[in-house]
Copies of this chain bind each other. A is one copy, B any other.
Amino acid sequence: METLQVALGDRSYPIYIGASLLDNPDLFKPYVKSQQVLIVTNTTVAPLYLEAVKRALVGFDVFEVILPDGEQFKSLEVMDQIYAGLLQARCDRQVTLVALGGGVVGDMCGFAAATYQRGVQFIQVPTTLLSQVDSSVGGKTGVNHPLGKNMIGAFHQPQCVVVATDSLNTLDDKQLSSGIAEVIKYGLIRDLTFFEWLEQNMDALLARDVAALTYAIKRSCENKAEVVAADELESGQRALLNLGHTFGHAIETASGYGNWLHGEAVAVGMCMAAELSTRMGWMTTAEQDRVVAIMEKAKLPIKPPEEMTPEQFESLMARDKKVQAGQLRLVLQKGIGHSVVTGDFDVEAFRATLGY
């Protein structure tokens, strides 16, 4: 088992990465505060892993809330199922929530933990590659609003993150590729060596080679932990983690939550960011080609849905959380392994990238 630390002062926490961790009481018990535990999971994950986690929590009063599966259920309305579960079980402020599932479960359970009785503690148990390398680390929680993705939420750090690599065996291929998109992101924004490793080991990742996956998860979590430790509340460099996301969120919102996987939309967004960066002379055409090539190798899409218009992109991107005083800011590339957050991009190049 690998252990990493997210260094956030008195909110620091460990990330455990390894096989067969889900039913290990030693990983959970030190982070449970009282007798009460409520596991939040979904209809897909519950039949696979709920019993294992319950074995790890034997001796506690364990309650469960099983949500419908999908990004379209990441809403305030569905949040109410968690609140009602907590209240019906008479959970008090000492309760520990456990998020067992992918990014949607983690974001919703984390937001419930941030807001139930003004804040209780929680443990992240991500079961998809995407949540293992990204959303379970760093304390971003929340839900979507019909008018914008992730617009309602809070920063709330977990007590620990338990990454069981064997849970990836039950993930379908599309979900695996979606997670790989966020792995590639770390290479692009700050880790050229890792990007090159990914170019060489993509086949092993797609074949679910355990050693390759474990390394990719560890290197991703290390990158994320470093960025989050330096800028917990995203006042600066943490926004780099949004590479591809401003374009990607527009795709997700326009096509209806749940129709595009998050990582698929982000992959297209990273291709568009690379295109815009190249149009501005910030990276070479050869580098842009490498970006597109690695997405294709990871079986990720590289173009937005055909029915999406440039006007839709512009309108949806104007609602991005990085907008300041009406000025859109984007994460762009200055070569591979070096991203910047900037409002200083060429408008014509931007419009050309959107397809005007």
**Bound-complex Cα distance A117 to B320 (A):** 9
| Interface check A72, CB cutoff 8 A | no
| Interface check A4, CB cutoff 8 A | no
| Interface check A279, CB cutoff 8 A | no
Chain B: which residue is nearest A153 at the CB level? Answer: B118
| Interface check A92, CB cutoff 8 A | yes
**Bound-complex Cα distance A212 to B248 (A):** 59
**A285-323 vs B, Cβ < 8 Å mask (1 yes, 0 no):** 000000000000000000000000000000000110101
Q: Given A76-B80, A118-B140, A118-B142, is A319 in contact with B152 using a C-beta cutoff of 8 Å?
A: no
> Are A83's CB and B321's CB within 8 A?
no
Q: What chain B residues lie within 8 Å of A11 (beta carbons)?
A: none
Q: Which size class do A's interface residues fall under?
A: 35 or more
A315 nearest CB across to chain B (Å): 10
Chain B: which residue is nearest A94 at the CB level? Answer: B324
> Are B80's CB and A321's CB within 8 A?
no
| Interface check A193, CB cutoff 8 A | no
> Are B147's CB and A93's CB within 8 A?
no
**A312-344 vs B, Cβ < 8 Å mask (1 yes, 0 no):** 000000110101111000000000000000000
Q: What chain B residues lie within 8 Å of A116 (beta carbons)?
A: 151-152
Q: What chain B residues lie within 8 Å of A325 (beta carbons)?
A: 34-35, 92, 94
A40 nearest CB across to chain B (Å): 15
Chain B: which residue is nearest A61 at the CB level? Answer: B326
**Bound-complex Cα distance A53 to B236 (A):** 33
Q: Given A76-B76, A324-B94, A325-B94, is A87 in contact with B118 using a C-beta cutoff of 8 Å?
A: no
**Bound-complex Cα distance A92 to B322 (A):** 8
Chain B: which residue is nearest A86 at the CB level? Answer: B151
Chain B: which residue is nearest A235 at the CB level? Answer: B93
> Are B151's CB and A87's CB within 8 A?
yes
- A147-176 interface with B by 8 A CB criterion: 147-148, 151-155
**A100-124 vs B, Cβ < 8 Å mask (1 yes, 0 no):** 0000000000000011111100000
| The one of B79, B84, B154 that contacts A114, using a Cβ cutoff of 8 Å | B154
A34, A35, A115, A153, most chain B CB atoms within 10 A: A115
**Bound-complex Cα distance A291 to B323 (A):** 54
Q: What chain B residues lie within 8 Å of A326 (beta carbons)?
A: 90, 92
Chain B: which residue is nearest A315 at the CB level? Answer: B90
| Interface check A145, CB cutoff 8 A | yes
Identify the A interface with B (CB < 8 A): 34-35, 76, 79-80, 83-84, 87-88, 90, 92-94, 114-119, 140, 142, 145, 147-148, 151-155, 233-234, 318-319, 321, 323-326
A-B contact pairs, 11 of them (CB 8 A): A76-B76, A84-B147, A87-B145, A90-B319, A92-B326, A93-B324, A94-B325, A115-B115, A118-B142, A118-B153, A154-B154
A88-B147, A118-B154, A119-B233 given. 7 additional CB < 8 A pairs?
Answer: A76-B79, A87-B148, A87-B151, A87-B319, A118-B142, A118-B153, A118-B234
